[in-house]
A = this chain, B = another copy of it.
Amino acid sequence: MIGFPDVWWCCGWVSAGRRWGCCSSCCRGEEFVVQLQVALDVLDLPSALTLANRVSEFVDILELGTPLVKSAGIAAVTAVKAAHPDKLVFADLKTADAGELEADLAFGAGADLVTVMGVADDDTVRGAVAAGARHGKRVVADMIGVVDGRVERIRQVAELGVAFVEIHAGLDEQARPGYSIDRLLADGRAAGVPFSIAGGVKADTIGSVREAGAVVAVAGGAIYNADDPAAAAAELQKRIVS
């Protein structure tokens, strides 16, 4: 497992071209290594565990998608962490209010990473970060819903203490004709803070995610909609490091 919390900041700054040094656990000398996160976008715990079991050897982070948490409850986080204690478990709560309360709930259930919405009130973000500090865990700001002024807001939430920022186009946005991952990547490059990319990460785009300097690439449909999710995850892992 790649550890927390130092790795993120180190890699973030490395990825942003500010080489303050490189921790050997995530970087190979001067070569930056992106982590692979799979979004378990299913609606029940048995399906999530089945999918996680199939793909876990090829990914670094197991994400419980927002609909899964709402459907199955926070106990699903505990179950996934228990089944995969060597992986980072990411609870995509997309918290919009009561930041400390919701993050505390997820960290208490075993999450290593919890999302708060980038559109949320600054005090909501601060509350989630405070909960993370108490648990020795980290908060991610999900930028879904931030369209105008995204780069500026990314920098603001980074200042509030999140570990990194997920630049995210949702499923509904991706479903529109003409959708492209390129604007996400451009905003990541421009922001100059540690970021992940979610929204259209697949075999033929993951190379550009790496080149843009993301600390994490989040893949959902490219894995769970594949005929062979394990093979799809293995392919993404291969492309992320080569």
Residues of A within 8 A of B (CB): 43, 66-67, 69-76, 93-94, 96-99, 101-102, 105, 117, 119-121, 123-124, 127, 142, 144-145, 170-173, 175-176
Contact = CB atoms under 8 A, between A and B. Distances in A.
Contacts of A69: 70
Contacts of A73: 70-76
A67 B105 contact: yes
A74 B75 CA distance: 12
Nearest 3 A/B pairs, CB to CB: A73-B73, A97-B170, A123-B172
Contact of A117 (B43, B96, B99, B101): B96
Contact of A105 (B70, B101, B123, B124): B70
B173 A66 contact: no
Nearest to A93: B70
Contacts of A101: 43, 67
B105 A71 contact: yes
Q: How many copies are assembled?
A: 2
Given A73-B74, A97-B144, 16 more contacts: A43-B105, A67-B98, A67-B101, A67-B102, A69-B70, A70-B73, A70-B105, A94-B97, A96-B96, A96-B170, A97-B170, A98-B171, A120-B172, A121-B173, A123-B173, A123-B176
A96 B127 contact: no
B121 A145 contact: yes
A215 to B, nearest CB: 22
Contacts of A75: 73
A145 B105 contact: no
Nearest to A126: B172
Nearest to A91: B70
A96 B94 contact: yes
14 contacts: A43-B105, A70-B73, A70-B102, A73-B75, A96-B96, A96-B142, A97-B170, A97-B171, A119-B119, A120-B145, A123-B172, A123-B173, A124-B170, A127-B172
- Name which of A76, A98, A99, A121 has the most chain B CB atoms within 10 A of its CB: A121
A71 B70 contact: no
A175 to B, nearest CB: 7
A120 B66 CA distance: 14
A102 B94 CA distance: 13
B96 A144 contact: yes
